[in-house]
Structure 1
Amino acid sequence: MNFPVEKLPNIEFKKDEPLSKYTFTKTGGNADVLAFPKNRNELVGIVNTARENGIKITIIGNASNLIIKDGGIRGIVIILPNFHKISIHDNEVTAEAGATIINTTIAAQKSGLTGLEFAAGIPGSVGGAVFMNAGAYGGEIKDVFSSAEVLLPDGQIKNFNHEDMAFNYRHSIIQENGGIVISGTFRLNSGDKNKIQEEMDRLNELRRSKQPLEYPSCGSVFKRPVGHFTGPLIIKAGLQGKIIGGAQVSMKHAGFIVNINHATATDYMNLIHLIQRTIKEKFDIELQTEVRIIGEDAKL
Structure 2
Amino acid sequence: MKKHTYFKIGGPADIVAYPNNIVQVQELIKFCNENNIEFFVLGNGTNLLVRDKGIRGLVIKIDDNLNDIKVDENRIIAQAGAKVSRVAKEALKHSLTGLEGASGIPGSIGGGVTMNAGAYGTELKDVITNVKCVDEYGDIKDYNKDEMHFGYRHSRIHEKKLIVVEVEMVFKEGEYDKIKAAMDDYTQRRNSKQPIELPSAGSTFKRPEGDYAGRLIDVSGLRGIRYKDAQVSEKHCGFVVNRGNATCEDILNLIKVVQKTVKDKHGILLEREVLIVGEE
Q: Do the structures match in fold with TM over 0.5?
A: yes
Q: Match of 2:117?
A: 134
Post-superposition shift, 1:95? 0.7
Q: Match of 1:11?
A: none
Distance 2:101 2:53 in 1: 35
Post-superposition shift, 1:83? 0.6
Residue 286 of structure 1 aligns with an amino acid whose one-letter code is: L
User: Does 2:60 correspond to 1:78?
Assistant: yes
Distance 1:182 1:291 in 2: 22
Q: Match of 2:25?
A: 43
Helix, strand or coil at the partner of 1:275: helix
Picking from 210, 214, 217, the partner of 1:231 is 214
Residues 48-101 of structure 1, C-alpha deviations (whole Å, 9 max, x = no match):
000111111101111101111111111111111211111111211111000000
Helix, strand or coil at the partner of 2:201: strand
Picking from 79, 88, 91, the partner of 1:108 is 91
Helix, strand or coil at the partner of 1:146: strand
Q: Match of 1:15?
A: none
Q: Match of 1:60?
A: 42
Residue 84 of structure 1 aligns with an amino acid whose one-letter code is: N
Distance 2:211 2:178 in 1: 32
Helix, strand or coil at the partner of 1:117: coil
Q: Match of 1:99?
A: 82
Distance 1:146 1:48 in 2: 28
Picking from 250, 254, 257, the partner of 1:267 is 250
User: Does 2:157 correspond to 1:195?
Assistant: no
Distance 2:279 2:139 in 1: 29
Residue 131 of structure 2 aligns with an amino acid whose one-letter code is: A
Q: Match of 2:8?
A: 26
Distance 1:267 1:102 in 2: 30
Distance 1:293 1:144 in 2: 28
Residue 222 of structure 2 aligns with an amino acid whose one-letter code is: L
Residues 145-185 of structure 1, C-alpha deviations (whole Å, 9 max, x = no match):
11111000111101110111001000001112101000111
Considering only aligned residues, what root-mean-square deviation do their CA atoms show, in Å? 0.8
The ranges of structure 1 where at least 4 consecutive aligned residues each deviate by more than 4 angstroms after the TM superposition are: none
User: Does 2:210 correspond to 1:221?
Assistant: no
Q: Match of 1:175?
A: 158
Helix, strand or coil at the partner of 2:66: coil
Q: Match of 1:282?
A: 265
Residues 246-277 of structure 1, C-alpha deviations (whole Å, 9 max, x = no match):
11100000000111121111111111111111
TM-score normalised to the size of structure 1? Answer: 0.92
Residue 83 of structure 1 aligns with an amino acid whose one-letter code is: L
Q: Match of 2:276?
A: 293
Is 94-103 or 33-42 further displaced after alignment? 33-42
Structure 1 residue runs of 5 or longer lacking an equivalent are: 1-18
Distance 1:58 1:112 in 2: 37
Distance 2:89 2:179 in 1: 10
How many residues are treated as equivalent by the alignment?
279
Distance 1:164 1:56 in 2: 27
2:25/2:138 contact within 8 Å kept: no
